[in-house]
Each structure stands twice: as structure tokens, then as C-alpha cells.
Structure 1
Amino acid sequence: MVVSAIAPPKATRIPESFFILKSLTSQDLDASVRRGQWTTQEHNEAGLNAAFERAENVYLVFSANKSGEYFGYARMLAPISGDLGAATSPVTSSDVSPDDGPRSIPTPATATAPSGRIIDDSARGTIFWEADDVAEDEDSPLKEQATNDLSAEQELGRPFRIEWISTGRLPFFRTRGLRNAWNANREVKIARDGTELEPVVGRKLMLLFHGVGF
């Protein structure tokens, strides 16, 4: 008797995944719209690639640092791969002198931001601001500002193709009440670069770009 082999069932893919991505400037996002590609921080790549494998569509919601609004959203067209050196042109150790190490520049607290420091590692192409400890109150304006600014460090990885679906601006205040269960139930505006959104909330946020409330 011949027994035919039974192929194992294919893994079921989920319909959608949603992520918040941040940029230092809106000019970088404008350039992304023209080129149809984006380069995220290295530590975000594995999570985005895993989502691309498990989901039919991976949507990326973008905002520029300190803008107080979402810039728009796009869909991943391909996994993140390619030549890392071609994407970032890193500075090698032979190009950096011992005097070119990072500098820490303290910044005082203001009415809109907590105290912190600027880390200037210009020789290696990195400059970012980080906050000192701030209050844990998620509605604190200081925490919201600090969360936006913490996205500033840029250890960029490899470029990947995206399709922009909307570049209509969405102010953060219009998302009030939307909370991300996958980020300690904080409001969606309180997120770091690469934060994944719970899918129901991600869909609601995406619909707001098209004038559909919740």
C-alpha cells in the first residue's frame, strides 16, 4: 500500500502589524516620500523583519521629532536586507583620532522639557539628546516631550522599500484616548522609535489619517 505524504499546513499569517517610527527631521521624511524607502535604527530591524514574515501588511506610522504630530503612514514592501556599509558609510577606527570621542553637554530644564544632555559624537556621525529621569505620570508634558526626544539617537541600519499611503498630518491631540495595550496601556503618542501597536488600536490610528473617528 502506498501512503502519500501529507504536506504540513502553512503557518497562518495575521492580517496586519503596526509600528511607530520616528525621524529627527521632517526633511528626512520628505526625502523618504520621494525615494520610496526608509532607513531605521539597527535595533528595530529584527522586529520589523519578523512582522513582515508573519503579517500580510506591515504599516509604519511616522512622526518627526518635536513636531507634535504624525507625518503620515506607509506600508513595508520588502524585508530589510542589503549592504549595511552602502547604507550608512560608517567611520572606521582609522578615521577617528583619540581626541574625537563623544562629548556630553548638559542642558537645563525648561518649561517644556526636562533637564538632560546632548551627546555629541560627530566624528562617528551621531548626535542625540537624552533626558534625565522625569516623572512617571504618563500625562505629564515633560514625559511626552522627553519621549519624543529620546528617539533622536541614530545608529542607522539598511534601507528598505516602503509605499507611502498618506502624508496627511495628524496632530497628537486628535489621538487622545487611543491607548496601546502593548506599551503599558499608554496613549499612542507616548512611544519610542520602533514601538509596536496593538492591532485594533493601530487600525483606529490609521483611520484617523482619513478622517474616520472612533
Structure 2
Amino acid sequence: MKQALVVEDLAEVRDWLADIARSVFPEIEVHAVGRVDEALAVLATRRFDLALVDLGLPDASGIAVVRALHQRDPQCLAVVVTIYDDDEHLFPALQAGAFGYLLKEQPREALAAQLLRIANGEPPLSPPIARRVLSWFGQARAPVPLVPLAGEPEGARLTERETEVLQRVAKGYTLPEIAQQLGLSRHTVASYIKQIYRKLDVSSRAEATLEAARRGLVQ
């Protein structure tokens, strides 16, 4: 591994992923960006051996980056690193050409261990994702449609986990406190907060609190 691309819009999480990549592959040079359009621009001029790609990016779905990598440079190993563990994100990513799929909620050591599997030609998959894939192929189901290149509209419907995070944000808990209460890493909670703000079209804790109150999550 000589060149790696990290696509993640949260600076703290972006640095965290870049640091993990360097710890696993000491000789690797990491190029990090925060948007899909920036990633596509870089791909037009450079080649990469590894890419760590978030899905919830501000201008489009990270699946657009995975698909572009697969089409332009099939030798590059695109690994999704996300908070989403549902079929609607997992299978479109795999269909687009993702080599692996990791969940941010795992400790740093677990993520590093999964990436080390690449040296043996094994796809890095978080255990819950591996079980979901096996379960999927063990049942007869309709294929999941690919996410369009333009991105995926998310609307304002929150998942159960996002609702839990929003409620704690509205109650004034800090990011580390929320992480401790929910048994998640601070990077995972930061990603949830990012998605919540994007879905609700808010940009501050005060606005998020008002929306939480409107939904009856706080009094």
C-alpha cells in the first residue's frame, strides 16, 4: 500500500481514519478530502491503492466515490467506513464496488485489525455486517436498488439511534457524555450528530433542541 484516500467531512473523524490507515500501513501516504466533488477531482489526477469512504457526505452519497473508484481504477480497494448498518446502505455500496464495509462504532483497534486483513486478500467487514451479508444471501430477496450518483435524499425521518442522540443533545449532554451513555465512540456520535443536523436542516445545538422539543423528546 502506497497511496490512500480518506473521504470524510468531519475533520476529527477524518484525521482519526487517516491515523488508523498509517498505523496499519506505515509506508502509506494519505490524501484526505471532505466532499464527493473533491474526491472525484482527485481521482481524475491520482491513483490510489486504498480508499476509506464515509457515506453521509454534504454534497452526495459516498457511494458515488466508491462507484467512481471501481470504474476508473478497479485495483483500488474501496472500504466504506460509516455509521449505517442497514441493508439500504450496505448492499448499494457493495454493488457499487466496495471491497469492505466497516462500522465507526468499533474501537480503533478493531478497525485496524479489520484493515490488516487486506494484506491477506480478505475483505474487511465488521462482524455485524458479515452476518448481515450471510443472512442476505441465505434468503430470497429482491435486489436493493443502487443509490443514484447525485446522492440520496434523506428527509427528516430519524432512526431510533439518531433519536436517542438528538434527545441527549437537546438535554445539554456533551459529545463524550453521549458516547459514554450509549456505549459508542465519540467519532460515531459525531457522525450521528452530523447526520441529524443534515436531516433536520439545522446548524446549531439551539436549533436541534427546538426541533427535539417539537418532536416531544424534551420538555
**TM-score band, normalised by shorter chain:** under 0.3
Normalising by structure 1, what TM-score?
Answer: 0.23
Of structures 1 and 2, the larger Rg is shown by 1
Query: Normalized per residue, which structure has more helix?
Result: 2
Query: Normalized per residue, which structure has more strand?
Result: 1
Normalising by structure 2, what TM-score?
Answer: 0.22
